Amino acid sequence: MITGDAEVRSEGSVFSGPEISYDLNTGEVIAAGSRTNRVNMTMQPKKQ
């Protein structure tokens, strides 16, 4: 789990927020925020 000004970058996608959990085995991202500290996501499509 990453807390504070957390940011995860994976395959061109970016996830940022106050709290992020990232599963290295599955690539699953779980992010938590609040009204004042929102989660931001920029997701890129998978390459075919």
pLDDT digits (tens, 9 = 90+) for 1-26: 888 889 988 888 999 999 999 888 99
Stretch (H or E) spanning 4: strand 2-10
Position 21 in a domain: yes
User: Domain range holding 30?
Assistant: 2-42
Position 14 in a domain: yes
Answering whether pTM is above 0.85, one says: no
Q: DSSP 3-state assignment of 31?
A: strand
Q: How many domains does the chain have?
A: 1
C-alpha–C-alpha distance, residues 2 and 30, integer Å: 11
Determine the pLDDT at residue 1. Answer: 85
Position 18 in a domain: yes
Facing residues of 8 across strands? 15
Position 29 in a domain: yes
Position 26 in a domain: yes
Q: Average pLDDT in the 37-45 region?
A: 91
